[in-house]
Structure 1
């Protein structure tokens, strides 16, 4: 694995250069050095060439395979593609380090992980807690079996279970720490129920970032701050009735055209995407850049409303919209209100989870749900 060793050194140096190794959790770097990433990569990986995912096999091209495993700090390793879409991966190294830092596991902690994937994250957790204390749940029986084989070969002492992560794993509860490696729209209450009072839960939320929740002393709520911004794969067990952009947009002409006060480039900013996610939770936002560097923004609600935002003359931007809602107008109101508050970053926000609902708040959990003012 000569190519892997060269790449490991290069990735560690890149993490050091951008200060991505958590200063408060030096154990993470030690665990990653002791349990190499390539030991948890299948022989076939997948590379995006700009148009489609192409297979990269270890036997055929070991150099490229190593490059996929040890890419940049923000580059995931795609380990499974289903119907042309990534369905499993080794998360990028920076996000793994950030989430483990947010989780704050300690030696002796009992940990539940939802989404075993290739078993890599569970191996790092077990390095920290000690053997026999980590349970990981994977819905895909093929992935679960492969993860179990890798973890057993390493002697990690991790219990791999096949099941729906949304249900947790009550047999070994209560847990000191719970972590999800896939995104959820709402944190399942079962996770809070299976975590001890004062325990910590870290989960990606809405494919945009992750939140760290602490379970209240009475076990009746969990509250905590947003920790970072990154994209995560969704749960496989969540039925997705949403329509895609092409289905929503169709070939109908735009029903409305108007100038807007924000450029499409703004919708690439993480804090902007976060505040739109909070206030317009059903609206999907993405951008594309053409060969000339021109950015176009796309918004849709997964049902019947859509908008595109393109650069106009003199620095203006033009929105074309269709459907019963005017999504560009809605986004403009959200961003105007957010700007009036000083454009707070995602780190100024947190989340509270209750048995029957969850909400996002700004600066103070007692302030209640964040959103546009009534009539805004």
Structure 2
């Protein structure tokens, strides 16, 4: 089709309106122009129709395909579906730009990327650092082949931008040390290999967990990496790290609740306040929180993802009053998740409700922790063990 410029300009204009182009990294907009999204999208994309992912083919539905590629700045284009779930995507433009800005990339930096996918992010990195400075690791051999082809077609030599097949969790020691390391998939555990393969003073940017991405700087002695949360980002997790998460219904089962009580707390921040949700993610890393509204008000469902089988429901009891926050709590399992939720919520309020940018992370050889305010003196939460 001959309207790519129109689609590209539309997405760029929306990024302009939202202020998504970072002032400190003006190179990013030039790189985006030089590596347009459609050059890195396969001929078949996948669209969620509220029931399942359905194919959208470039040949049979060019307008629909273009709409997937150039959706709004927060829309990813799903490029691969495995067992009914997305397993690779062309990441949403706003987060791609935000993470590149966080990387503080300079010409000549040696860069390791984990998760090549379509190759588009590698092309953006290469535009800034230089083709021969970028090594990208992809676990899926078929995706790696496609990425090499697209990089070549986009003018970034597939021979000079190294796309290698391997496990991103182990990095790529043959090319170390790197000045910059960037992951395009989410991890709960920051692999120590990423830190070990980054030079002192180098920077690591990665999505962490379900809600944020962090930028870590490796210490001068190479024995730790620490840095601040940079923004919200929801990326697919590393392949093979875990099976599909259990749903609330699977955890809830059919057994009756073991405890019941009332709650008068307004639940709207649980749905609308990203800073609260991030704080709860830090304090309760294995608890999944889902909200939905019905005629009685806002409801919430909580369940643990660790397999111990605890759950809670927070069910609104409408009485017709605008200010009514009456909620009935039912809980069961070894843990009382609603109680834990309120305790973590109250602790966040007691800390003066810090926003997500007040949080940071430190990674050491034997573990990692999240802190708030100050890495040395602020409150901290031990996170999961780092990968070997």
TM-score of the pair, normalised by structure 1: 0.95
> Retained in 2: the 8 A contact 1:110–1:175?
yes
Once the two structures are TM-superposed, the CA of residue 294 in structure 1 deviates from its matched residue by 4.9
Q: 1:262 to 1:103 in 2, by over 3 A?
A: farther
CA-to-partner distance for each residue in 1:76-103, whole Å, 9 max, x for gaps? 1111111111111111100000000001
1:366 aligns with 2:376: yes
1:252 aligns with 2:255: yes
For 1:278, what is the secondary structure of its paired residue?
A: helix
**313, 328, 350: which is aligned to 1:340?**
350
1:274 aligns with 2:278: yes
Once the two structures are TM-superposed, the CA of residue 293 in structure 1 deviates from its matched residue by 9.7
Match of 2:321 in 1: none
Match of 2:174 in 1: 171
Name the CA distance, whole Å, in 2 between partners of 1:64 and 1:3.
Answer: 13
Q: 1:4 to 1:260 in 2, by over 3 A?
A: farther
User: What aligned pairs does 1:3-22 form with structure 2 within 5 A after superposition?
Assistant: 3-22=3-22
Name the CA distance, whole Å, in 2 between partners of 1:3 and 1:325.
Answer: 56
User: What aligned pairs does 1:140-151 form with structure 2 within 5 A after superposition?
Assistant: 140-151=140-151
1:296 aligns with 2:299: yes
Name the CA distance, whole Å, in 2 between partners of 1:332 and 1:248.
Answer: 21
Once the two structures are TM-superposed, the CA of residue 261 in structure 1 deviates from its matched residue by 4.4
Structure 1 window deviating more from structure 2 (33-42 vs 1-10): it is 1-10
> Retained in 1: the 8 A contact 2:297–2:317?
no
Name the CA distance, whole Å, in 2 between partners of 1:92 and 1:6.
Answer: 18
For 2:19, what is the secondary structure of its paired residue?
A: coil
Match of 1:125 in 2: 125
Name the CA distance, whole Å, in 2 between partners of 1:293 and 1:184.
Answer: 37
Structure 2 unaligned regions, length at least 5: 319-323, 383-388
Once the two structures are TM-superposed, the CA of residue 242 in structure 1 deviates from its matched residue by 5.0
Q: 1:84 to 1:312 in 2, by over 3 A?
A: same
> Retained in 2: the 8 A contact 1:263–1:310?
no
> Retained in 1: the 8 A contact 2:178–2:199?
yes
Once the two structures are TM-superposed, the CA of residue 370 in structure 1 deviates from its matched residue by 2.1
> Retained in 1: the 8 A contact 2:103–2:182?
yes
Name the CA distance, whole Å, in 1 between partners of 2:133 and 2:109.
Answer: 7
1:317 aligns with 2:327: yes
CA-to-partner distance for each residue in 1:223-246, whole Å, 9 max, x for gaps? 000000121111103133853322
Name the CA distance, whole Å, in 1 between partners of 2:191 and 2:378.
Answer: 20
Once the two structures are TM-superposed, the CA of residue 23 in structure 1 deviates from its matched residue by 1.1
Once the two structures are TM-superposed, the CA of residue 308 in structure 1 deviates from its matched residue by 1.9
> Retained in 2: the 8 A contact 1:263–1:311?
no
Report the number of matched residues.
Answer: 371
For 1:315, what is the secondary structure of its paired residue?
A: coil
User: Which of structure 1's runs of 4+ aligned residues deviate more than 6 A?
Assistant: none
